[in-house]
Structure 1
Amino acid sequence: MTHWRKRYHFLVQITAFSLVLYSCDVTKPYANKQTVPDHLYGDAAADANANMAVLSWKEIFKDPLLQDLIAEGIENNLDLKTAAANLKAAEANFVQSKQAFLPSLSGNASAGAYHPSDAQASNTQVYQLYALSSWQADIWGKLRSTKRSMYASYLASEAYQQAVKTQLVANIAVTYYQLLAYDEQLNIVQQSLEVYSKDTETMKILKNSDVVTGAAVVQSAANYYAVKSTVPDIKNNIRQAENTMSLLLGRTPGPVKRDSLFNEQVYSELSTGLPVQLLANRPDVKQAELQLRSYFEQVNVAETSFYPALTITGQAGLYGTQLKNFFSAGAFLANIVGGLTQPIFNNGLNKQKLKIAQANYEASEYNYSKVLLTAGQEVSNALYQYQMVDEKAQSRQEQIANLEKAVHFTKELLKYTSDTNYTDVLTSEQSLLSARQSAITDKLQQLQAVVNLYAALGGGWK
Structure 2
Amino acid sequence: MLMNLFAKLNDLFPDTMPYKSNVPFIAVILLGVTLSSCIATKPYEKPDIATENLYPFEQVELDSTTLADMPWQQVFRDPRLRDLIEEALDHNLELQSAIQQIRIAEANFFEGRMSMLPNLSAGADVSYNEQSDNSVNFGEGLDNISIPASEQYAVSLSSSWELDVWGKLTSAKKASFAALLQTEATRRAVQTTLIANVASTYYRLLALDKQLEITRQTVENRRRDVETVRSLKESDMVTGVSLQQSIANRYAAEVTIPEIEQQITVQEHALSMLLGRAPGSIERTSLSEQHPIDSLATGIPAQLLRNRPDIIAAEYSFRNAFELTNNARAYFYPSFTLTARGGYQSLQTEDLFQPGSLFYNLAAGLTQPIFNRGQNRARLKRSKARQKQALLELRSTILDASSEVSNTLSAFQKAEQKLQLRQNQLEALEHAVEFSRELLQYGEANYTEVLTTQQQLLSAQISNINDRLQQLTAGVDLYRALGGGWEKPAENQRVQNESRE
Same fold flag (TM > 0.5): yes
* Aligned mates of 2:274, 2:183 — CA distance in 1: 21
Match of 1:377 in 2: 403
Q: Determine helix, strand or coil for the equivalent of 2:74.
A: helix
Match of 2:83 in 1: 68
Q: Please state how far the C-alpha of 1:14 moved relative to its aligned partner.
A: 4.6
Correspondence for 1:85 among 95, 100, 112: 100
* Aligned mates of 1:442, 1:3 — CA distance in 2: 89
Instruction: Give the alignment of 1:151-162 within 5 angstroms.
Output: 151-162=177-188
Q: Determine helix, strand or coil for the equivalent of 1:23.
A: helix
- Contact 2:206–2:286 (8 Å) recurs in 1: yes
* Aligned mates of 1:267, 1:45 — CA distance in 2: 15
* Aligned mates of 2:22, 2:278 — CA distance in 1: 70
Distance 1:12 1:161, change over 3 A: farther
2:482 is the alignment partner of 1:457: yes
- Contact 1:14–1:338 (8 Å) recurs in 2: no
Could you tell me which amino acid in structure 1 is paired with residue 36 of structure 2? C
Q: Please state how far the C-alpha of 1:325 moved relative to its aligned partner.
A: 2.0
More deviation, 261-270/446-455: 261-270
2:54 is the alignment partner of 1:40: yes
Could you tell me which amino acid in structure 1 is paired with residue 476 of structure 2? V
Q: Determine helix, strand or coil for the equivalent of 1:6.
A: coil
Q: Determine helix, strand or coil for the equivalent of 2:36.
A: coil
* Aligned mates of 1:115, 1:211 — CA distance in 2: 127
* Aligned mates of 2:289, 2:353 — CA distance in 1: 86
User: Structure 2 unaligned runs (5+)?
Assistant: 1-12, 136-146, 488-501
- Contact 2:14–2:20 (8 Å) recurs in 1: no
Match of 1:317 in 2: 343
Match of 1:99 in 2: 114
Could you tell me which amino acid in structure 2 is paired with residue 5 of structure 1? M
* Aligned mates of 1:461, 1:123 — CA distance in 2: 74
Could you tell me which amino acid in structure 2 is paired with residue 20 of structure 1? G
Match of 2:468 in 1: 443
* Aligned mates of 2:193, 2:481 — CA distance in 1: 9
Match of 1:18 in 2: 30
Could you tell me which amino acid in structure 2 is paired with residue 56 of structure 1? P
Over the residues paired in the alignment, what is the CA RMSD in angstroms? 1.7
Match of 1:242 in 2: 268
Q: Please state how far the C-alpha of 1:81 moved relative to its aligned partner.
A: 1.0
Moved over 4 A (4+): 1-4, 7-16
Match of 1:110 in 2: 125
TM-score (normalised: structure 2): 0.89
Q: Deviations over 1:260-293 (max 9, x none)?
A: 1011011112200011112221100000001001
Could you tell me which amino acid in structure 1 is paired with residue 46 of structure 2? N
- Contact 1:36–1:276 (8 Å) recurs in 2: no
Q: Determine helix, strand or coil for the equivalent of 1:38.
A: coil
Correspondence for 1:346 among 360, 363, 372: 372
* Aligned mates of 1:377, 1:253 — CA distance in 2: 35
Could you tell me which amino acid in structure 1 is paired with residue 446 of structure 2? N
Q: Please state how far the C-alpha of 1:360 moved relative to its aligned partner.
A: 0.9
Q: Please state how far the C-alpha of 1:46 moved relative to its aligned partner.
A: 4.1
* Aligned mates of 1:46, 1:92 — CA distance in 2: 45
Q: Deviations over 1:141-186 (max 9, x none)?
A: 1111111111111111110111111111100100100000000000
2:319 is the alignment partner of 1:293: yes
Could you tell me which amino acid in structure 1 is paired with residue 45 of structure 2? A
* Aligned mates of 1:374, 1:34 — CA distance in 2: 17
Distance 1:431 1:129, change over 3 A: same
Percentage of pairs with the same residue:
41
* Aligned mates of 2:84, 2:224 — CA distance in 1: 40
* Aligned mates of 1:206, 1:49 — CA distance in 2: 67
Correspondence for 1:30 among 41, 44, 51: 44
Could you tell me which amino acid in structure 2 is paired with residue 354 of structure 1? L
Correspondence for 1:431 among 456, 476, 482: 456
Q: Please state how far the C-alpha of 1:7 moved relative to its aligned partner.
A: 5.2
* Aligned mates of 1:77, 1:36 — CA distance in 2: 36
* Aligned mates of 2:109, 2:269 — CA distance in 1: 39
2:200 is the alignment partner of 1:188: no
Could you tell me which amino acid in structure 2 is paired with residue 421 of structure 1? N
Q: Please state how far the C-alpha of 1:441 moved relative to its aligned partner.
A: 0.5
Q: Deviations over 1:106-136 (max 9, x none)?
A: 1110112223322353201011111111111
* Aligned mates of 1:318, 1:15 — CA distance in 2: 31
Match of 2:250 in 1: 224
2:223 is the alignment partner of 1:197: yes
Q: Please state how far the C-alpha of 1:96 moved relative to its aligned partner.
A: 1.8
- Contact 1:247–1:253 (8 Å) recurs in 2: yes
* Aligned mates of 1:106, 1:46 — CA distance in 2: 65
- Contact 1:18–1:137 (8 Å) recurs in 2: no
Q: Determine helix, strand or coil for the equivalent of 1:119.
A: helix
Could you tell me which amino acid in structure 2 is paired with residue 434 of structure 1? S
Correspondence for 1:366 among 388, 392, 399: 392
- Contact 1:65–1:258 (8 Å) recurs in 2: yes
